[in-house]
């Protein structure tokens, strides 16, 4: 019998949720996604020291010898995710998601500028914008930034997705892809209720099903990519979703597990469902967001967590550029 992973690939696009190039080489997904935490973790790995050091040296050369380490680190930080993305694109046949600085999540204009800058870096390396998804937090401001970028032919992945209101706003804005966070939704409900959930009743699973069915019912072209999984059961309950981005440990578990995989999400079935349409504007978005404690809490928490990872990465880069510049001195002593 085929593994769960082999069966899943027949009904859903499998994406690797990692910045670890070695893991991507092992599982050969169609696409790959990264985020600040994953890039920060990968940059800490000894096997990627060459990518980090090369990026830092290029930034030093661009800014000159008089620039302080912190400024060099800040420029290198802007380029590092793209450097990982360029290497990932040598392995995956389709797309990589590269994230905008989470600290810009409530600034539409700054997010647009950063998205354009990321695309410019890829295109200067000869990589088509069709292979890049600009990853933006699904605040109202982020969704509006994504809407403008999409009109410029820059495709977006709206992340930190927890509520139906976020998904509807993205669909109406013509966003290419959204990433509902299954596991983080489960985390919130387990903490709030003090109980465990079976895969078929998992609140994160039910959230993605609701979004998927709404999109297919009303003909939105935005792709749904379930993300942030805590266990294989969450993944198998979403078989049939447009895409699922899965961490290497769970990819390995799926690859080594046999059994019959049932399709749970189907676009034709969704079209037959009785689903109320909700036109989305800023007032409706804000009202629904305020009423959804889980979405409100997890969006704020997610932005804070990604921002913290970025600060850690900047500090690590500043320390490393100082070490690099001291190495020749040490060698001469």
206/324 Cα distance (integer angstroms) = 49
DSSP state of 3: B
Rounded to 10 degrees, what is the CA torsion of 161, 164, 166, 167?
80
Burial of 196 (C-beta count, 10 Å sphere; 0-12/13-18/19+): exposed
Helix (H) or strand (E) holding 224: strand 223-226
Dihedral sign from CA coordinates of 317, 322, 323, 327: positive
Structure tokens at 264: 């749970």
Cβ proximity of 208 and 167 under 8 Å: no
Residue-wise DSSP of 281-313 = -HHHHHHHHHH-HHHHHHHHHHHHHHHHHHHHH
Residue with tokens 């895969």: 199
**Beta partners for residue 245, in sequence order:** 15
Choose among 324, 182, 163: nearest CA to 265: 182
Residues involved in catalysis: 135
């Amino acid at each position: 019998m085929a593994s769960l992973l082999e069966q899943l690939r027949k009904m859903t696009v499998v994406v690797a949720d990692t910045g670890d190039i070695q893991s991507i080489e092992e599982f050969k997904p169609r696409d790959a996604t990264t985020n600040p935490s994953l890039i920060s973790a990968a940059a800490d790995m000894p096997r990627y020291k060459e990518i980090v050091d090369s990026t830092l040296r290029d930034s030093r050369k661009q800014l000159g010898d008089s620039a302080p380490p912190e400024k060099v680190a800040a420029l290198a930080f802007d380029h590092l995710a793209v450097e990982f993305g360029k290497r990932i694109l040598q392995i995956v046949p389709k797309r990589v998601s590269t994230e905008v600085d989470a600290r810009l999540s409530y600034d539409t204009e700054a997010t647009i500028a950063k998205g354009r800058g990321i695309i410019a870096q890829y295109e200067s390396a000869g990589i088509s914008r069709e292979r890049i998804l600009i990853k933006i937090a699904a605040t109202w401001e982020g969704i509006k930034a994504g809407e403008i970028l999409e009109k410029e032919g820059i495709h977006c992945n709206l992340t930190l997705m927890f509520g139906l209101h976020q998904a509807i706003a993205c669909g109406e804005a013509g966003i290419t892809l959204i990433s509902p966070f299954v596991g983080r939704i489960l985390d919130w409900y387990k903490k709030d209720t003090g109980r465990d959930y079976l895969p078929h009743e998992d609140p994160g699973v039910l959230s993605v099903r609701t979004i998927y069915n709404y999109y297919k019912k009303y003909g939105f072209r935005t792709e749904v990519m379930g993300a942030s999984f805590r266990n294989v059961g969450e993944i198998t309950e979403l078989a049939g979703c447009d895409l699922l981005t899965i961490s290497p440990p769970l990819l390995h578990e799926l690859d080594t597990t046999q059994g019959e995989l049932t399709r749970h999400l189907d676009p034709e079935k969704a079209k037959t469902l009785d689903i109320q349409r909700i036109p989305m504007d800023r007032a409706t978005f804000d009202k629904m967001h305020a009423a959804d404690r889980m979405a409100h809490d997890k969006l704020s928490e997610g932005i804070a967590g990604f921002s913290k990872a970025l600060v850690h990465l900047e500090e690590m880069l500043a320390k490393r550029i100082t070490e690099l510049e001291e190495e020749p001195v040490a060698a001469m002593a």
